[in-house]
């Protein structure tokens, strides 16, 4: 048992030298997974060519909830990892546009999840706000949250760190992909909800 403890403490001290690697790389991938891989399909799930096209509305709603819930948890984990990494290295927080917009995106995502709960159970607000207005507000605020997250990711690709360590071809391709995703989701939400309001 003692040898097991010695080995594990030795392994931990060895890993301590590379803590930044284990804490920094999840930060690179977690927000991208949350906003690009989960939130975009969640926003497009109700379209004709969405993830669950042909499924019942109830199934689409469940998948929307599931994907946004996962996006919220994963974005929160990414935010925690970078916050903890900066604390370990005594670096200042939220001094770049990437950090400030990333913080705003995480706050808006938390608010958006709350709006989603209100949208799912609108009976409590029915006497104050109409159901269509609740859904439209949820959709429009969701697009704005997605745009903030995508801008934070784009600014991450434009950072000094990525210029030094990343491929320019990957950087420009990823930036174009995120711009196209913003356009696609925003266009669909505007067509579906904003035109109906006016």
In a domain, 153, yes or no: yes
pLDDT band of residue 196 (cuts 50, 70, 90) is low
- Look up the domain containing 55 and give its range: 20-197
Predicted TM-score (pTM) of this structure: 0.81
Residue 164, CA distances (Å) to 28, 91, 158, 161 in order: 15, 19, 10, 5
Whole-number pLDDT of residue 108: 95
- The number of distinct structural domains making up the chain is 1
pLDDT tens-digit profile of 4-38? 322 333 333 333 444 444 445 666 788 888 999 99
Judge whether 95 lies within some domain: yes
When comparing pLDDT for 192 and 181, which is higher?
Answer: 181
Query: What does the H/E/C string look like for 5-38?
Result: HHHHHHHHHHHHCCHHHHHHHHHHHHHHHHHHHH
CATH of the domain at 111: 1.20.120.1770
Q: For 24, how many CA atoms within 13 A lie in the half-sphere containing its CB?
A: 10
**Rounded distance, CA 113 to CA 168, Å?**
35
């Amino acid at each position: 048992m003692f040898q097991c403890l010695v080995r594990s403490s030795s392994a931990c001290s060895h890993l301590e030298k590379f803590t930044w690697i284990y804490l920094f790389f999840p930060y690179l991938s977690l927000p991208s997974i949350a906003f690009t891989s989960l939130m975009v399909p969640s926003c497009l799930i109700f379209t004709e060519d969405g993830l669950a096209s042909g499924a019942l509305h109830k199934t689409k709603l469940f998948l929307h909830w599931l994907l946004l819930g996962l996006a919220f948890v994963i974005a929160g984990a990414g935010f925690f990892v970078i916050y903890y990494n900066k604390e370990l290295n005594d670096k200042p927080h939220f001094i770049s546009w990437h950090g400030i917009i990333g913080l705003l995106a995480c706050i808006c995502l938390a608010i958006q999840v709350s709006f989603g709960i209100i949208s799912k159970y609108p009976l409590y607000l029915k006497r104050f706000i109409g159901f269509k207005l609740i859904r439209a507000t949820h959709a429009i605020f969701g697009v704005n949250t997605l745009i903030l997250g995508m801008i934070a990711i784009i600014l991450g690709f434009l950072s000094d760190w990525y210029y030094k360590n990343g491929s320019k071809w990957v950087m420009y391709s990823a930036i174009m992909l995120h711009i196209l995703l913003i356009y696609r989701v925003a266009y669909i939400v505007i067509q579906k909800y904003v035109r109906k309001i006016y």
